[in-house]
Chain A
Amino acid sequence: SQQGEEDPQALSIQEGENATMNCSYKTSINNLQWYRQNSGRGLVHLILIRSNEREKHSGRLRVTLDTSKKSSSLLITASRAADTASYFCATDDIGANNLFFGTGTRLTVIP
């Protein structure tokens, strides 16, 4: 399968703490993207990091990419209850016509 794999599958933290989730993949990529999905809703694009980038920030989000290890991490700082959702990584594989999504990390932020 070309899917990425997120780790952990589920994560529960207190409000205000940082949340880190990881993604590993198997192929060569153009970019890697992170999405959020609230229960019963569609996925929302959070951030895109290109293969020649190592780190990217967007608000409270920090994404890193290590192409030598074929892995990425998403850090959410100062978490809020509203961050409770599932988070998916998706890879834009070289030569592919679509994104490949992982199975997601379920984040619960306890108020």
Chain B
Amino acid sequence: DAGITQSPRHKVTETGTPVTLRCHQTENHRYMYWYRQDPGHGLRLIHYSYGVKDTDKGEVSDGYSVSRSKTEDFLLTLESATSSQTSVYFCAISELKENYGYTFGSGTRLTVV
């Protein structure tokens, strides 16, 4: 997707290991979000950021942390991966949500074995 990239696209990891997913944008948007998508649950917000070093929790934040040291990068870390964190993770960016929609990355499919 134009202006936003996620890496890696796919990852398999073992239970108990730390994992970091990266979201990079070239749009200079203020807001960045991490969602997870699971069957039957739609998209659920994990964490979001409203500026450099400004982050807040979403509805499913347990077991996840984030960092945003630069406008363009938003990192999601699974501190100790569990099988329940097997999911597809999407990053999104936006300016003012009152006026504009989100732009989503292509997603990271994470499998915890």
Residues from chain B with Cβ under 8 Å of A48 in the complex: 99-101
B70 within 8 A of partner (CB):
no
Q: Are B100 and A99 in contact (CB under 8 A)?
A: no
Residue of A nearest to B90 (CB): A42
Residues from chain A with Cβ under 8 Å of B104 in the complex: 35, 42-44
Count residues of A near B (Cβ-Cβ below 8 Å): 23
How many A-B pairs have beta carbons closer than 8 Å: the answer is 54
Query: Which of B43-51, B61-69, B78-86 lies at the interface?
Result: B43-51
Task: State the CA gap A90–B94 with chains docked (Å).
Answer: 14
B87 within 8 A of partner (CB):
no
A93 to chain B, nearest CB (A): 10
Most chain A CB atoms below 10 A, which of B35, B40, B43, B92 = B43
Task: State the CA gap A48–B45 with chains docked (Å).
Answer: 20
Chain B 27-59 interface 0/1 with A at a Cβ cutoff of 8 Å (1 = within): 000000101000011111100101000001010
Chain A contact residues, CB within 8 Å of chain B = 3, 30-31, 33, 35, 40-45, 48, 88, 90, 92, 97-104
